[in-house]
Amino acid sequence: MNTRVIVKVVVCALLLRCGRADAIVASVPDAEYLAVRAGQQVVVKLFGAGVGTLDSYGSGVLISKEGHVLTVWNHLVNTGFLTAVVPDGRRFRVNVVGTNLEHDVAVLKLETDDDETFDFVDWKATADVLPGESVLAFSNMFHVATGNEPVSVVHGVVACTVSLDAGLGRWIFPVKNPVYVLDAITNNSGAAGGLLTSSAGVPIGMLGREIRHRDTDMWVNYAVPLKGLQPVIAAILDGRRYSSNTSTQDQKSVLSDRQLTAGFGITLLPSIVETTPAYIDRIVTDSVADVAGLRRGDLVLMVGDDVVRSTSDLRERLSGFRRGRPIAVTVNRNEKLETISLRAP
């Protein structure tokens, strides 16, 4: 046996006999363990209303000591029934501070007392990562954590940085900037809105939702870089509207207000801003909408499995159906979800 090996074996045996091995191991900081513990303290579990095949839970990241939460702009945010469970198990109602379609992001705020504070991610202190670098993904995947249990952590690497042509059903992934494609299983129920960090715990991205690549139809594990979200988050927190100077509006088929009323019998609240919610202001008697059971005051949340974020979004969704095709419309009616079936005129 090699002399060095013999010496190491003898030293280890003496340390174990003296009871000092654990002390020496414990004295060496485990950076990844500390990163895991820190990450689990800033991810919240979000619970709302599931619609159709979409789940009723997700994840979010605390980004301020006052309780602001960063997450994806999905159906949970739109339903208006959100509850957040923080790492110590306490539950809070949630208000929506602002959203941004272009980056598929929403900023929420926990309803707390004025003196309540939380651990949070410094979203201004982020970094870029290169393909092959190790990462940690934190989220409430598969509804594993419901109270003070720690959220799940997945270890992986960044496979590449690329712009995604992806979506789910008729929904198209709106983010044009490059995202991190991950060699880690994050494309799971409940993972959307979770945190991606380096192995040392530096925040680098927000986990994306369940989507498939348009060309291959394969599920995509990805995260949106926090660096690209910084101006969006800053604008929302400041109460401003953010829009990229380089973004372009695709030419889409959209029903006009007059066509919506004439064809479906629906008149919406006036679209004052781009994100005016799709509240029904009037239903024409004996129209398609009236026969189906839609009512004045209904807030339209989904058409099929597609989330409706605004009046223009609803007009666009309804324009895509051929005459006579069934349409499932999910609405918020008196704080309850109702799914109503109507046929395209």
Query: Over the stretch 293-331, which tens digit does the pLDDT of each residue have?
Result: 999 999 999 998 888 988 988 988 898 787 888 999 999
CATH number at residue 297: 2.30.42.10
Rounded-to-integer distance, Cα 84 and Cα 76, Å: 11
Nearest to 206 by CA among 175, 248, 236: 175
Answer yes or no: is 311 within a domain.
yes
Nearest to 59 by CA among 48, 51, 67: 48
Answer yes or no: is 252 within a domain.
no
Rounded-to-integer distance, Cα 223 and Cα 69, Å: 16
Contacts of 149 (CB under 8 A, 6+ apart): none
Same domain flag for 21 and 33: no
- Give me the domain span that covers residue 10: 3-28
Q: Domain count of the chain?
A: 3
Contacts of 45 (CB under 8 A, 6+ apart): 57, 58, 59, 84, 85, 140, 145, 146, 151
pTM attached to this predicted model: 0.70
Answer yes or no: is 251 within a domain.
no
Rounded-to-integer distance, Cα 75 and Cα 224, Å: 18
- What integer is the mean pLDDT of 53-73? 91
By DSSP bridging, strand 222-225 and strand 326-333 are unpaired
User: Max CA-CA distance within the chain?
Assistant: 95
Residue 175 has a pLDDT of 93
Residue 317 has a pLDDT of 87
Q: Which helix (H) or strand (E) holds 289?
A: helix 288-292
Residue 324 has a pLDDT of 85
197-230, pLDDT tens digit by residue? 999 999 999 999 999 998 888 999 999 999 999 9
Residue 55 has a pLDDT of 75
